[in-house]
Structure 1
Amino acid sequence: MTPPTRPQPRQPLSDDTAPDRPPLPTAVSDPARLAAVRRTGLLDTAPEEPFDRLTRLAASLLGTPFVFVTVVDATRSFWKSSTGFDDIDPEKRQTPVEQSFCRYVIDADAELVVTDARADPRTHDNPSIELTGVAAWAGFPVHSVDGHVLGTFSAMATAPREWTPRDIEVLRTLSHAAAGEIALRDALHEARAATQRAEHAATQASTLALTLQESLLPARLPQIPGVRVAARYRRGVGGDEVLGDFYDVFPSTRSAWAAVVGDVSGKGPRAAKTTALARYTLRAAAARSSIPSHNLATLNTALREWYTDDSQYLTAVYATLRVNDTGVNVQVSCGGHDPALVRRADGTIETLGRYGLVLGWLPEPPLRDQRVQLHPGDSLLLYTDGVTEARRPTDRALFGIDRLRQVLADTTDADAEQLAAAVETAVLDFTGHQPGDDTAILALHVPALPD
């Protein structure tokens, strides 16, 4: 098999050699966009692991040798990260913007998916077809926090290729991860600047931590047909740093949905980056598999590859939901996390999921799946240990699993919103509204059939 042509960086075409060069889209040279690009501080810098891990993950999931994270200014498309190209010299990691497919993404502020570049009317005259051998290309915009297109997260093939819906979801998810890494750096830069301004340092740091924490949670919960979903998240008292509790709900394969709650070790920027990695990795994995244990294993591998110098661990409970004629079929796997709880319509409480092993520790942790059917009136609860390990201030007693089970049993005829609120209220009352740890609560309820 002939190896694919390696993309080669080119110097900008001069006016003498390319008199008929097409004009660039005005969006490329927009001053506000270019200012946002400069603020990233990524131009003309060496490769860095946070971005390289994303491109390696994409190459592995897509089976394509060339994946790029690019930052585009008015003259060139700079490869901040790339697979299939080993040169680390920043001057050689770029192509003229006229030759870059990224300019189409910037112009439209939307993804570009090209099966055959020679046959596609949008790209058939692009010089890169001859200069770098690009035949198929798929890229998504990487946005700044204020909405400007900084560049792209893209994959390239040297032969025509049909990009599958799974390929598209992987690229979309990892483009968000790349944007999240840039946003996190920007936020951390602002945090360092804030600490130098002594007058408001403490207040600003606390506000920044809260903003960062909220950015690691879904902006809104999706609507799942046949299932009601509600969540509660509360930061522990006195915490000025980002901690690692998180939850997420997102689509999976074959009309299934995934729900996950996790708890990252540590706090601060490292915990924030691990939380972002966990969310984006699980979303990408869910695009190709609906088996909870398989997707937690993918996250375990990502954690071990991401943190090669110092281990980072997390626990998570992952549930796959598939609506059927009699209710919702649920499959759960736990990676060192407390099992989920099922509250039946009659108030009976059941445990779902085996404890498993913390993620990021062993190469192949034992992960098992357990399945149950939820009927109309039943509910599923996922939570972090901020619930069960909450302490009463008077005697330091733990809230505990038995008290949580009793709260669920007593909350009869409750929908997801009422159930999540009941658990949160019980924890707050128990701690005197002074919870010492972050808490994440995710409730899913199958509505009862009408009489």
Structure 2
Amino acid sequence: MTVEPSTPAGPAALDAAVIDRRVRDRDRLAAVRATGLLDTPAEEPFDRLARLAAVTLGAPLAFVTVVDERRSFWKACIGVDAQDPADRQNALHESFCQYVVGAGAELVVGDAASDPRTRDNPAITGMGVAAWAGFPVRAPGGEVLGSFCVVDTVPRTWTTHDVDVLRTLAEAASGEVALRAAAERSAMLARTLQQALLPPVAPHVPGLQVGTYYCAAGSGDELIGDFYDVFETRDRRWNAVVGDVCGKGVEAARLTALARHTLRAGAMREARPSRVLALLDEALQRDDSTDGRFVTALLVALDPAPGDGGFAATLCSAGHVPALLRDDRGCRVIDAPGSLLGVLPELVLRDVALDLRPGDVLVLCTDGVTEARGPGREQFGLGRLSAALGGAGGDARAIAATLGGALRAFAGPRSDDDVAIVVLRVDPSA
């Protein structure tokens, strides 16, 4: 079966004012811009579909277009040698895609020069368009973004098979747009959830400066599980914690939230960090949905020392990266080896007491810092972190920024794992 050029498929002739109104529809233009496709380079998913149409139908030109209020932008243009996005477009009045947008339906023209709907279009002479077949490319909400179309430079009879192929490929192009929109929504949700798991700002702690540095893994779109928190409990005691949940994704994020809130609640009941971490271990062991996931954490409780402006600190690690202390003796590792939480039948934890004097700096971090890899796949390690801490000046926020900068200089701006650093500096003026 053929679609004869004398009885063209598609809408009847549309009034130019109707086309203009539908092209300029506010919701449609918002959907166009939301795709992020305008003025972007060629991408293989769209090029592949257009190339398939050109080869299958034996057409010299094939396009995937996105139409705004002034032009038809060619996201894919097979048969046109144009690499710069500025060259991959034509004015709206020269575009056949305006008819598809205006009608909200396909348009199949066998002889463009004689068809009453298209015969006045400048592209007939300007681009040599003799036959044209285009189908709507739609946004997830149904708005017509542009068209999936093929062009022949001689009049032709489009067959039913041609129409079916183009309709299918246009739907595939719309599907690619929908996939990108879904990925963007997922990424936005991930970023929102990731931020919800972290304190919004470092709290004000009398006599203690608090600085933090956090960088999500990769582009920040994937939930990993590193967390930190600084919070007050009873009797003016402050607690700082960094932790890491095994795995990634929504389940890791759920356990991150469980860990953070359990630690807060536990610190209200227990003064010793080892007991607080034991409560978290119990909660994880009782949670049947953890599926063998474990948690590492480093918790420090800080009590103001009467009279001298310092703090009596008690630190406990559950399989976590050791803390670093900078005091008048230099920088050193505070090692307090302990068990992972949530998976072992017997828990071993040890509290370590520290006296923090005015000017002393305590640094807590996750393994995204120490295991970050630089040139030659060498790890950043505690040695480099200690060296950066030894040369860092200023208050806690400045020190955190210096440590983060040293890590970026070594491993680059992106990391394979989340990075969390908490800097606690006893106010030297206390």
TM-score by length of 2: 0.57
CA offset at residue 400 of structure 1? 1.0
8 Å contact kept, 2:326–2:361: yes
Question: Is 1:247 matched up with 2:228?
Answer: yes
Paired residue total = 254
* Counterpart position of 2:389: 408
SS in 1 for 2:376: coil
SS in 1 for 2:324: strand
* Counterpart position of 2:8: none
CA offset at residue 196 of structure 1? 10
Name the CA distance, whole Å, in 1 between partners of 2:275 and 2:180: 50
8 Å contact kept, 2:321–2:367: yes
CA offset at residue 363 of structure 1? 3.8
Name the CA distance, whole Å, in 2 between partners of 1:203 and 1:408: 38
* Counterpart position of 1:424: 404
Question: Is 1:386 matched up with 2:368?
Answer: yes
Question: Is 1:329 matched up with 2:309?
Answer: no
Name the CA distance, whole Å, in 2 between partners of 1:195 and 1:251: 49
* Counterpart position of 1:435: 415
* Counterpart position of 1:359: 341
Cα displacement string for residues 195-234 of structure 1 (whole angstroms, at most 9, x for unaligned residues): 9942412222212111110001112222111101111110
State the AA in 2 paired with 1:428: R
Matches within 5 A, 1:10-409: 197-238=178-219, 240-307=221-288, 310-324=291-305, 325-326=307-308, 327-344=310-327, 346=328, 348-392=330-374, 394-409=375-390
SS in 1 for 2:384: helix
* Counterpart position of 2:429: 449
Cα displacement string for residues 227-277 of structure 1 (whole angstroms, at most 9, x for unaligned residues): 011111101224532110000011123221110000000111100110000
Cα displacement string for residues 175-195 of structure 1 (whole angstroms, at most 9, x for unaligned residues): xxxxxxxxxxxxxxxxxxx99
Cα displacement string for residues 393-440 of structure 1 (whole angstroms, at most 9, x for unaligned residues): x3111111111111111114x311011111100011111222221100
SS in 2 for 1:405: helix
8 Å contact kept, 1:356–1:367: yes
Query: In structure 2, do the counterparts of structure 1 residues 379 and 203 end up closer, same or farther at CA, with 3 Å as the change threshold?
Result: same
Name the CA distance, whole Å, in 2 between partners of 1:195 and 1:323: 58
State the AA in 1 paired with 2:368: G
* Counterpart position of 2:141: none
Name the CA distance, whole Å, in 1 between partners of 2:240 and 2:400: 15
Shift >3 Å, 4+ stretches: 194-197
What's the Cα RMSD here?
2.0
Q: Which runs of 5+ in 2 are unaligned?
A: 1-174
Name the CA distance, whole Å, in 1 between partners of 2:409 and 2:392: 16
Please tell me whether Structure 1 or Structure 2 has the larger radius of gyration of its CA atoms.
2
8 Å contact kept, 2:217–2:224: no
SS in 2 for 1:448: coil
Cα displacement string for residues 303-362 of structure 1 (whole angstroms, at most 9, x for unaligned residues): 011135722211000000011122011100000001111111x46012224121111112
Name the CA distance, whole Å, in 2 between partners of 1:195 and 1:415: 49
Query: In structure 2, do the counterparts of structure 1 residues 308 and 433 end up closer, same or farther at CA, with 3 Å as the change threshold?
Result: closer
Name the CA distance, whole Å, in 1 between partners of 2:316 and 2:231: 16
Deviates more, 1:233-242 or 1:278-287: 233-242
Q: Which runs of 5+ in 1 are unaligned?
A: 1-193
Name the CA distance, whole Å, in 2 between partners of 1:307 and 1:391: 35
Deviates more, 1:231-240 or 1:434-443: 231-240
